[in-house]
Structure 1
């Protein structure tokens, strides 16, 4: 047994009020399942590939079954993940304009195999279009594996923040730095001149027609059950001024700034992978048209590097999915 004052300081607990698990030195586990599902959707859906014969893209994450977790023990991180993933793809033959659909199946993404060896199976619905299937089996498979590699990288960096806690000396340094930052922040707030780094942003304007009434389209953005149906994921929704919302497994969060029933919604809106605490302002205007409703979207403050992702999010994950929900509702009516 080490003498008093000797030995690994991470075992010393008398200076801690709880007296347990100093610096996460003992076994600590964090469930990464929900986070992983959102990350896989973000990285895989929208992948596109093109050659002289045609163009294809991954249009939907149809199934993701499995689990993931991160464990820390004695300052070391241990990862476990095992996934069965099914994706939908669609493509267009350039010469004929013919459209085709198919599936991508990843039966076992786990730590037992290298990403380069991960099985990626591509199939296509019956009919012509083998040229698109070949594109998906070559370029598509490579891009899917690249995205899976990005997922693992994020799992081991982005998700694990805070699992290995600093020693007492480092914590003291960080506390001192935090105090200095707080003082600087207060000085910045008191000063009429704004300091700091400004994030380059862009504004987006999109319009889309929906075969439904203004009332029904408005409700799809404000009723929790309908949001969960078109997003195919759990949601948190407080559709009132100052109310919070969370969609797509927490990948999109924000706050309602203004709601005018059946006319307008204004939101503070952000994606999880945006710079910390940065929000865009999203305004939705619902305009009645003969037999339809026009949705006008104006978005200000989108980080420049996330412009294409933002367009994809609204055009594919919102507009197309909402139209699919409306069609299904009409069929069941």
Structure 2
């Protein structure tokens, strides 16, 4: 048996604070079923498509059967997921007629590529034929496939945190500052040679949530018009009871400068940084699934236009691969939800 301090890092005899399962080398498993179920529903509920035929969006996910887990064996991560799901969708034609249908995915699995997924779309029983069905088959399936692909990406990149642990030796090496000896030109002195040394400069801090990881971000702007006054629209974003109504979920909102908010079942949270009554709201804002501690800056500017209010949104620091999702989330779960709930409906840009 190896002596203490001389063992193979795969063995339990290595010096480690917890003295067990060094570097998670032995088989470890994490159940991702609950997280996956919630995240799949969240992503699917954001699916919306528009076309010449009208618009369609997912209204519910009544069936979501399956399981998911992440395993670590000798430093190798193994992902397992298998799901059968059904989503309900609703479409509105250009003439204002509403239709209902279903979308089925029977084989979301680690054994199938995203391009191999079977996704079928149908109308509910007794619904008359409508071009909206073709819209869902043409564009809706693409959006659903993209949402499911995003779930797999998040499972592989974010849910695995802590699955592979550093050994004490690795942790100590990571936390020990390194210095590099720099030899200066030798200065000749009587019977003496002097060599000086200096520490290397400290590394520049990295951007993004995790140390050493640089996160690519982007900026975008949105514009919307509401049939209400700036003061009524302003308080809609800051009053907890209003937020709970238009999001149809529990929320915690402290509507003052420096106040924090959490809404949509904890999937969105942040802090109000600057408030100019009836004119501007600046907030630190993030999706729960974003890299830890990374926030975007969202600025809402309100402009009085008589019988209506023009809202301009400026977003900065949004992760590049989250741009479309963030835009769609603001359009659907903020702008459209507020219009439908409080009757502030107006033309869309």
Q: Quick check: TM above 0.5?
A: yes
CA distance 1:307–1:31, change in 2 (3 Å) = closer
Three-state SS of the structure 2 residue aligned to 1:230 is helix
CA deviations on 1:73-110 (whole Å, 9 max, x unpaired) are 434434345463424242546xxx67553333336565
**1:43–1:151: 8 Å Cα contact kept in structure 2?**
no
Task: State the TM-score, normalized to the length of structure 1.
Answer: 0.68
Instruction: Compare CA radii of gyration and give the structure with the larger one.
Output: 2
Describe the SS at the equivalent of 1:150: helix
User: 1:194-223: per-residue Cα shift (whole Å, max 9, x none)?
Assistant: xx98967445252321458944x4443224
Matched, 1:316 2:332: yes
- SS at 1:149 equivalent: helix
CA distance in 1, matches of 2:200, 2:237: 39
8 Å contact kept, 1:214–1:286? no
Q: In 2 relative to 1, CA 254–225 (structure 1 residues): closer, same or farther, beyond 3 Å? A: same
Q: Equivalent of 2:311, from 282, 290, 296?
A: 296
Aligned residues: 310
2:99 corresponds in structure 1 to 101
Aligned partners of 1:172, 1:67: CA distance in 2, in Å? 41
Task: Say which of 264, 273, 279 aligns to 1:257.
Answer: 273
Report if the CA contact (8 A) 1:38-1:249 is conserved.
no
2:127 is the alignment partner of 1:147: no
282, 288, 299: which one aligns with 2:299: 282
Check the 8 A contact 1:37/1:249 in 2, yes or no: no
- Output the CA distance in 1 between the equivalents of 2:200 and 2:264: 33
- TM (norm. structure 2) is 0.66
Give ranges in structure 2 of 5+ residues lacking alignment. Answer: 180-198, 208-212, 344-349
CA offset digits 1:272-311 (Å, max 9, x no partner): 4489735223234375955xx6252331425595655444
Matches within 5 A, 1:1-333: 2=1, 4=3, 9-12=9-12, 15-24=15-24, 25=26, 27-31=28-32, 33-34=34-35, 37-38=38-39, 40-42=41-43, 45-48=46-49, 54-55=52-53, 57-63=55-61, 65=64, 69-74=68-73, 75=75, 76-80=77-81, 82=83, 84-90=85-91, 92=93, 100-106=98-104, 108=106, 111=109, 114=112, 116-118=116-118, 120-123=120-123, 126-129=127-130, 131-137=131-137, 140-141=140-141, 143-167=143-167, 170-172=170-172, 174-175=174-175, 183-185=202-204, 201-210=218-227, 214-215=231-232, 217-260=233-276, 264-271=280-287, 272-273=289-290, 277-285=294-302, 287=304, 290=307, 294=309, 296-301=311-316, 303=318, 305=320, 308-326=324-342
Distance (Å, rounded) in 2 between the aligned partners of 1:238 and 1:84 = 37
For the aligned residue pairs, the C-alpha RMSD in angstroms reads 4.6
Conserved? CA contact 1:40–1:151, under 8 Å = no
Change in CA separation of 1:87 and 1:281 when aligned onto 2, cut-off 3 Å? same
C-alpha displacement of 1:318? 0.7
Q: Are the aligned partners of 1:202 and 1:303 in contact in 2 as well (CA < 8 Å)? A: yes
Distance in 1 between residues matched to 2:119 and 2:297, nearest whole Å:
39
Residues 46 and 57, structure 1, Cα contact 8 Å, conserved in 2: no
